[in-house]
Amino acid sequence: MPYTVPKLTDYSPAALEHAAAECLRACSEEASAVPNDAELKAFRDRWMARKSGILTQINDLWLKGAPREAKRDAGIRMNELKARIQELVENARVTVGDLAKDSAGRVDISMPGTRRPIGAEHPVLRASREMCAVFQRMGYSIAEGPVVETDYYNFEALNFPPNHPARDTQDTLFIAGQDSKPQRERLLLRTHTSPVQIRTMEKLCPPIRIVIPGVVHRNDPPDASHSPMFHQIEGLAVDTNITFGDLKGTLDHAMKEFFGSNVKTSFRPSFFPFTEPSAELYISCFICGGSGRRGSDPCRPCKQTGWIEALGCGMVDPNVFEFVKDNGYDPKKVSGFAFGMGADRIAMLKYGVDDLQLFFHGDVRFLEQWA
């Protein structure tokens, strides 16, 4: 039976003590039976609500109804009773909170586990990793370097002359506040991963074979084929008696490994400041099969030529070796080749994407294709 406040007719100390004891006993029993927050609120309101709570009823029935000569004793008893009931309500609140924490911390091993959705590797990073793995199987090591570079490592040590257009702010993103520094010490966001080649040759003596993936920056407006931030993969091999034939054989094998054994390669003369001779590698269009047409329509990816440009390459210019000559790279004794490709570009080619910006928009509907 829920506790009901009785009306007192006897205000003797013994009668007040008995009534208070019965009230506390009922409150204590109810407090020990509170199981959760919802019941706790009902319990608290039943005993302590200002308008109709039991404490308010006790004040109206016991204190206000007491004879004048008993009001003082009744008031003292009511204050003690109020304090004890408030204490019981607070203890009930703490107990319910502890039960909730204990329940949350307990693991029911019979329940199925929470399955977390597994993300997918970004297509550009996947393409970069797969291409690097191709070269690793040929004995190459992965090398990395800083994204913020000096003019020396990004340009000077790679045989870029002082008046080369790439040194202009229209092509390269320079760090602000560098005007007071010497030219070679000015900081910039690297425009290629080639500085890692110089840094590696400063640390390691020949022979070396490294492949360098990483992010690079150029002052290009974003469009379907350009971005101010993109990814590159470069490679460097240095040893005695390395020839252009080694370069052709290495890259031909890499392209067949990555794009498929039916892919053909073609090398065309080009120019890069840090290689001599230089070439651009083209691969046969694996969309139209090299015919330049897709049925009765022209093949857009290869521009109807049957060939797609994949990367730049060449034999390392002897002038580059001069910067690391003291570490065993005497251009009269060693030779090497270097190559560089855009990881974003090879991802576009492999996965048939026609807009570079799709890789960077973060559209989950697009990225889920590689999940």
The whole-chain average pLDDT of the chain stands at: 87
pLDDT of residue 83: 87
pLDDT over 70 at 99, yes or no: no
pLDDT, tens digit, 9 for 90 and up, residues 234-264: 999 999 999 999 999 999 999 999 998 889 9
Q: Reduced to 3 states, what is the DSSP secondary structure of residue 195?
A: helix
Give strand ranges (E) for the chain. Answer: 141-142, 148-150, 187-189, 208-217, 229-239, 265-272, 275-284, 293-294, 297-298, 307-316, 335-342
> How far is CA 82 from its chain centroid?
57
Q: Report CA torsion sign: 99, 104, 106, 112.
A: positive
- pLDDT at position 4: 83
| pTM confidence score | 0.66
- pLDDT at position 102 is 55
pLDDT of residue 195: 95
